[in-house]
Amino acid sequence: MEKTIVAAVQMNSGFEKYKNVRLAADLVTEAARKGARLVALPELFSWQGNSREIPLASESIPGPTTMRMAELAARLKLFLLCGSILEKNPRGPRPFNTSFLINPSGRITGMYRKLHLFRVRLPNGAFINEKAAYSAGAEIVTVPTPLGRIGFSLCYDLRFPELYRAMVDCGATIIAVPSSFTFATGKAHWEVLLRARAIENQVYVIAPNQHGKDPQGTQRYGHSMIVDPWGNVLASRREGNGVIYAQLDLTYLKQVRKNLPCLRQRRKDLIRQ
């Protein structure tokens, strides 16, 4: 399938999981009505809340949220990239931050556990430490689909270009970056990093983000975005709940790679193993 409509959903998820999941379902349904074949939700779309409540907010995969999303994808007959949920860790108290793809038959065809965990002190003095709350994943994940091979990443992963190059080496033509980027870091780096990852890897980047204040008072950046392989921003939403759309054209992607064959011209002899 050379051309297809894709959508990225922007949300302001809170601590009431049923409300978040219902809103996500409504926005995915809206995207389906407008012809989207692939819809991506933001990181932690089903729940954002107090760190003390993380164990209660975590669930197994499959579980209630995955089953609800699988039914939705099957009914709407689309690919649904479920940004992430907190997945129970059978080996310890800290859950994984897990993204998963559901196909139009309602089957989970790929799961990715966030590799890089955010640990930073923001300019306002707030300290965010995902390492204290979550367990890190250990695998790079790409999944073949009729729309193209999709690579998985989450939020802070965006700052690690080697991950994206590894996904392209696996054949990725579309890379998802579901996020809950903070306002402080997003204002400085969000767009430039998304466009850089798209340009240097000659891929489409789909980046649904959280917006507004989360339940702990951290301001999220919004500006969900879809970027093409030349670095053009095809769609963006500054703030508010909603959906953005763009057409992905694999013929155009192949032409970009043919005209500017930088992926084939890499000096692999200079890369340390």
Alpha-helix runs per DSSP H in 106-246: 161-169, 183-201
**Catalytic one of 59, 82, 87, 155:** 155
Is 262 in the active site?
no
Task: Tell me how far apart the 2 most distant CA atoms of the chain are, in Å.
Answer: 52
**Gap between the Cα atoms of 102 and 110, Å rounded:** 7
Distance between alpha carbon 257 and the CA centroid of its chain, in Å? Answer: 24
- What is the Cβ-side half-sphere exposure of residue 231, based on CA atoms within 13 angstroms? 9
Task: List beta partners, residue 85.
Answer: 98
CB 116 within 8 A of CB 160: yes
**Catalytic one of 17, 43, 59, 82:** 43
**Catalytic one of 17, 59, 114, 130:** 114
**Gap between the Cα atoms of 122 and 68, Å rounded:** 35
Cβ-based neighbour number of residue 143 at 10 Å:
22
61-92 burial: b if 16+ Cβ within 10 Å, else e: beeebbebbbebbbebebbbbbbbbbbbeeee
CB 106 within 8 A of CB 185: no
Q: Closest by alpha carbon to 208, among 72, 55, 4, 39?
A: 39
Catalytic positions? 43, 114, 155
